[in-house]
């Protein structure tokens, strides 16, 4: 039941990670949103993710993972049900903030829960768990394009139903007790924040999330602006990028049993630099699909493997350490989306230039990986 609960939570997070990029084309049509406004909406979600990830670590260490996961799933369900009833830019941004709060809570809680399940094979376990993130990310744009005619209200309601089902599973699942209210000391947070190893791992997540969420939020709009039909663009996002994440995490899990996690992070960073550049160069749907798929495979190990290294190096206050690292990851979203939106301005065709931020941050990831 613990494995099922963690899997379902990560699956839900995968769905909402792909949500903004999936519904933005429809919302942009309905409310005449510009790329700059799209960037502001992404910023609202990122702020929610940051606040939640930073706050939920101590909550989980004090009160246990179950309470955190239940709160996170409830916030996600509420925001998904409210989004179709938005009246304009302001309300969309507010509901995306709430969605970010819920997402930040469950990604920290679910990874901390899975980290406890198999401590001796933490990196492989977290990669296997996070392949369901890729599955969730595949489902959202694929169902939207193939079954729901890319209607934002329908896809939000669909995701809300699955989230409520996941909430019910978590409600009946017994989870481990808190790490210990007596053992938790807020003074130790200062020690964590001054730890060089944690700061490098946090920097890696900062750079990685800037690239990954840049793909989720902007790839479909970029492809549409290059002349790719909307349905094909959504399929490339799901059966290209999301499927690449899924396949990559399946493939890397056995590798991590014998290869050090830091070496895997270095290799993935190098491949990311190449694939994120190449995926922007083609407007041919078939070629774009192949390149986007390879980009997903390259990105696949980074997030869960980085969290596994955090878990290995910080045995005490694991959820808090993960929360710090993940919060820095969401800071990458805060920085990247407004930059991409500002560079593109009111012209979606400029997204090709704006998205060069993705290979640029991947190159910096190589440097950080070498330092680790």
277 confidence band (pLDDT: 50, 70, 90):
very high
Token representation of residue 362: 């991947």
pTM beyond 0.85: the answer is no
pLDDT of residue 191: 67
Q: Which helix (H) or strand (E) holds 311?
A: helix 302-313
What ranges do the domains of the chain cover?
Answer: 2-173+188-371
Q: Does CATH place domain 2-173+188-371 in 1.20.1250.20?
A: yes
Mean pLDDT, residues 244-267 taken together: 89
pLDDT in tens, 123-172: 777 777 777 877 887 788 788 877 888 788 899 999 999 999 999 999 99
| SS3 state of residue 355 | coil
Cβ-proximal residues to 225 (8 Å cutoff; 6+ apart), any chain: 348, 349, 351, 352
Token representation of residue 272: 């990311």
User: 292 and 261 in contact (C-beta within 8 Å)?
Assistant: no
Q: How far apart are CA 109 and CA 126, in angstroms?
A: 13
Q: How far apart are the first and last CA of the chain?
A: 35
Q: How far apart are CA 177 and CA 113, in angstroms?
A: 11
């Amino acid at each position: 039941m613990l494995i099922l609960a963690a899997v379902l939570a990560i699956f839900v997070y995968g769905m909402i990670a792909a949500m903004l990029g999936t519904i933005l084309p429809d919302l942009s049509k309905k409310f005449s949103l510009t790329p700059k406004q799209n960037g502001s909406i992404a910023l609202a979600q990122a702020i929610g993710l940051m606040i939640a990830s930073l706050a939920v670590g101590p909550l989980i260490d004090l009160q246990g993972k179950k309470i955190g996961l239940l709160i996170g799933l409830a916030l996600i369900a509420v925001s998904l049900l409210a989004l179709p009833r938005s009246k304009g830019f302001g309300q969309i941004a507010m509901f995306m903030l709430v969605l970010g709060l819920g997402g930040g809570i469950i990604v920290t809680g679910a990874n901390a829960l899975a980290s406890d399940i198999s401590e001796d094979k933490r990196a492989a376990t977290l990669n296997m768990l996070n392949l369901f993130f890729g599955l969730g990310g595949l489902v959202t744009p694929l169902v939207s394009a193939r079954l729901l005619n890319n209607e934002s209200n329908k896809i939000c309601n669909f995701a809300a139903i699955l989230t409520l089902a996941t909430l019910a599973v978590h409600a009946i699942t017994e989870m481990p007790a808190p790490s210990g209210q007596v053992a938790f000391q807020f003074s130790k947070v200062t020690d964590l924040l001054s730890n060089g190893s944690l700061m490098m791992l946090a920097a890696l997540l900062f750079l990685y999330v800037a690239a990954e969420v840049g793909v989720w939020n902007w790839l479909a709009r970029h492809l549409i602006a290059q002349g790719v039909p909307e349905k094909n663009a959504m399929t490339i996002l799901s059966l290209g990028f999301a499927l690449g994440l899924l396949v990559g995490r399946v493939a890397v899990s056995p590798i991590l049993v014998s290869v050090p996690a830091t070496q895997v992070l270095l290799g993935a960073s190098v491949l990311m630099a190449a694939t994120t550049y190449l995926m922007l160069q083609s407007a041919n749907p078939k070629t774009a699909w192949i390149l986007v798929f390879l980009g997903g495979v390259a990105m696949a190990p980074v997030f869960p493997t980085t969290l596994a290294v955090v878990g290995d190096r910080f045995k005490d206050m694991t959820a808090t350490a993960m929360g710090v690292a993940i919060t820095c990851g969401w800071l990458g979203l805060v920085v990247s989306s407004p930059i991409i939106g500002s560079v593109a301005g009111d012209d979606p065709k400029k997204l090709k230039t704006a998205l060069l931020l993705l290979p640029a941050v991947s190159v910096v990831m190589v440097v950080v990986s070498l330092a680790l």
